[in-house]
Amino acid sequence: MSSKTGPLSHVKVLDLSRILAAPWAGQILADLGAEVIKVERPGAGDDTRSWGPPFLKDAEGKDTKEAGYYLAVNRGKRSITVSLEKPEGQRIVRELALKADIVLENYKAGTLARYGLDEASLRKVNPRLIYCSVTGFGQTGPRRDQPAYDFLIQAMGGLMSVTGEKDGRPGGGPQKVGVPIVDLMTGMYTAVSVLAALARRNETGKGDSIDIAMLDVQVATLSNQAMNYLVSGKVPKRNGNAHPNIQPQDVYACADGDVILVVGNDGQFAKLCEVFGRPEWVSDERFATNAQRVRNIGELSGLLRDLFAEWERERLIAALDAAGVPCGAINSVADVFKDPQVKARGMLKHVPHPSGVDVPQLSTPMRFADAALETQTAPPLLGQHSDDILGELGYAAADIAALRAAGAI
């Protein structure tokens, strides 16, 4: 049984999901202390286990069966293998649902109903369940039966139309974001939704059903770009690294490397002008306010690029930091983990893995003053906890052996 601490240490989650979006939600809940039981296919498990290389290496330096992709989204969980196609497996899932507070699943619409494991069926077992379905397009609409992946939704949901360099420039054209951002944001919305339903259940005593669609999430997170279009009628276009509404914000080349400049208000712009010895720009009608700078960014950016080219990167970063102007170098992923601030916040940790090595894990960014989150366990091996979980349900060793022989686990 779980001995976790944390604000959700009293919560049990039955995680029937695979790949990334819903498992990301399950990992968030596990980080918060919930007991998360991950149900996987016997022999194969979550697809992401094989999405490599790279794979974690064991104590002898050999590849394990745990891909980095899988290791990114499954820490703190317990794994049990169950065949949903077999009646014995279906019974196990219903028994787990009886003890669960939350069910996460991301099968195509209608799939689990064939096994008697859909929301209506499990609610008969446990009326207090919070049952959350995560799919590409939701439980309704003309695409409800179609599969989806992050890349597809980034394209369909408009994100790629505003990401990337301008057409006609080197490297121009649509680009996807460098991480599966729709999956990650869908996982975040899923976690928020089930926790809201849990809070509501504390008031009403009733469970709820939640329908999360990746396309809905991407449309919702178009955010300022969507509103720019809705209030102006002008379709947003790719603009490289330049911000569409706040300027100057872009990548600028120093004499020895690039710098990110993020001026967020008129006060910061005045400080930037002071560092560059251009105090007259503060009252220049072309640049005095953000709206004017946005309208005249072509001219301003050209002037700034000439000034940036006169500075060495580290010297300019130090000068802008001292003036209170947000700026910084463009770090590689390796550079991120060398950053003093990242180190100070403890964003990288290592936890013991059953292969005999310590597996690196990103720390949760959540910090609680009165409910410190403990170091979580490593992402589990396939079926690592099957016997323990079944034992907790009351299965004897002989019963478990029979289930395994029948291919049900």
User: How would DSSP label each residue in 106-154?
Assistant: -PPTTTGGGGT-SHHHHHHH-TT-EEEEEESS-SSSTTTT----HHHHH
**Measuring CA to CA, which residue among 343, 358, 364, 346 is closest to residue 4?**
364
Residues belonging to the active site:
183
Q: Establish if 174 belongs to a structural domain.
A: yes
Q: Look at residue 232 and tell me if it is in a domain.
A: no
Beta strand 257-262 with 327-328 is antiparallel
Overall domain count for the chain: 2
Intra-chain end-to-end CA distance of the chain, in Å = 19
pLDDT for the residue 1: 47
Of the two residues 376 and 336, the one the predictor is more confident about is 336
Q: pLDDT digit string (tens) for 106-147?
A: 999 889 999 999 999 999 999 999 999 999 999 999 999 999
Which of 263, 297, 330 is the last residue before a domain boundary?
Answer: 330
Are 304 and 381 members of one domain? no
- CB–CB of 96/401 below 8 Å? no
Do 216 and 266 belong together in one domain?
Answer: no
Instruction: Say if residue 45 is in the same domain as residue 166.
Output: yes
Both 326 and 349 in a single domain? Answer: no
Q: Is residue 347 part of a domain?
A: yes
Domain boundary among 330, 353, 375: 330
Domain, as residue range, for 24: 12-220+343-405
Q: 274, 299, 330 — which closes off a domain?
A: 330
Is residue 64 included in any domain, yes or no?
yes
Per-residue pLDDT for 3 more than 60?
A: no
309 - beta bridge partners? none
Residues 166 and 131 in one domain: yes
How does DSSP classify residue 278?
A: -
Place of tokens 């779980």: 2
Residue 304, sorted as left (phi over 0), alpha (psi -120 to 50) or beta, turns out to be alpha
Give Cβ neighbours of residue 78 (< 8 Å, ≥ 6 apart). Answer: 2, 35, 36, 37, 38, 380, 384, 385, 388, 389
Q: Based on the domain organization, do 296 and 392 belong to the same domain?
A: no
Would 356 be classed as within a structural domain?
yes
- Does residue 2 have a pLDDT over 90? no
**161 three-class SS:** helix
Residues 6+ apart with CB under 8 A from 319: 275, 311
Res. 214: pLDDT tops 90: yes
Q: Classify residue 152: in a domain, yes or no.
A: yes
Whether 163 and 284 share a structural domain: no
Statement to judge: residues 317 and 347 lie in one domain? no
| 173/277 same-domain check | no
Using a 10 angstrom Cβ sphere, with 0-12 exposed, 13-18 middle and 19 or more buried, the burial of residue 290 is: middle
